[in-house]
Amino acid sequence: MIKKMFLAILALGIFATSCSSDDDNSISTTAELTLNLNGLEALGNDYVYEGWIIVDGAPVSTGTFTSVAASQTFTVNAAQLASATTFVVSIEPAVDPDPAPADTKILAGDFSGDTASIDTGIVGDFSNAAGAFFLRTPTDESGMNNGNDENGVWFGTPGAPPMPNFVLPMLPDGWAYEGWVVGDSGPLSTGTFTAFNLADNAAPFSGASAGPPVPGEDFFMNEPVGETFPLDIRGRTVVISIEPVPDDSPAPFVMKPLVGVAGVDLAPALHDFNQNLMSLPTGSVTR
């Protein structure tokens, strides 16, 4: 009898311990973070997006992703997520030996309660974006006008020398502006730049003479397949994009704050850019 009572008490104790253990395990150490995106585009094969929460001033990765679906969920540490103050999205190499965020941070926002609205303010404030361009071919002139100014586009106000007129923020490390003209077969780059009063980094289509101290391009040489040079810029769309650095895509990135259409008038006439702020991605995060 005593033995039976002892076994019953022992079984009851084991049951109680098991219940207590189950209760402890029911307190999860992980939580879900839901990311909603609007307007972000897929990257090339060499790069991925990565989410970060800022906890006590330090970045903590929430995972990488390549899909830009409207909504996706990540499992993260519950305590860290609860104490996070900010959410950031960066562009990272697909094979990345560096555990820290890259300079190419594209979206960010502070948490207010359990949500954060994220936008491209970490790249710059483009709310007042403006600028203009003119049609001229300085790399074919050698000191004189050859009557073919419709074949070149330059960003600024014509003069001797031309002067910059962009109202754009200076970009942080990891980003550069790039000019484009939409040709017959697609967009043609005029080169990347970070300063408005200097030539851009490339002259793939221009003539032999030096260009002016503003970004731009003449379209005379090395025409791509599907294009006929010299290219008449009149009536064509001209774009300023914001590109990640480094950039593995030959196409314009999704952020295109300025878009204009070249008119028929040549320099000294100016053609204005229009704001295209709808191209800037946005999103929200819920924890």
pLDDT value of residue 28: 78
Sign of CA dihedral 220, 259, 246, 103: positive
DSSP bridge pairs for 12:
none
pLDDT value of residue 11: 41
The span from the CA of 3 to the CA of 25, in Å, is 33
Which residue type is seen at 222?
N
Three-state DSSP class for 238?
Answer: strand
Which residue type is seen at 66?
T
Domain boundaries, the chain: 30-124
Mean pLDDT computed over every residue of the chain? 90
Determine phi and psi for 231, rounding to 5 degrees.
-95, 125
Query: What does the pLDDT average to over 92-114?
Result: 96
Confidence label for 27 from pLDDT (cuts 50, 70 and 90): low
Which residue type is seen at 251?
A
Three-state DSSP class for 27?
Answer: coil
Look at 165 and 12; give whichever has higher pLDDT. Answer: 165
Q: Answer yes or no: is pLDDT of 144 > 80.
A: no
Q: What does the H/E/C string look like for 171-195?
A: CCCCEEEEEEEECCCCEEEEEEECC
DSSP bridge pairs for 36:
71, 284
Percentage of the chain exceeding pLDDT 90: 83
Q: Answer yes or no: is pLDDT of 48 > 90.
A: yes
Q: What does the H/E/C string look like for 268-284?
A: CCCEECEECHHHCCEEE
Confidence label for 145 from pLDDT (cuts 50, 70 and 90): low
User: Measured between alpha carbons, how far is residue 70 from residues 41, 42, 47, 251 in Å?
Assistant: 11, 12, 19, 23
Confidence label for 8 from pLDDT (cuts 50, 70 and 90): very low
Q: Which residues of 8-21 are buried (b: 16+ CB within 10 A; e: fewer)?
A: eeeeeeeeeeeeee
Q: Answer yes or no: is pLDDT of 256 > 90.
A: yes
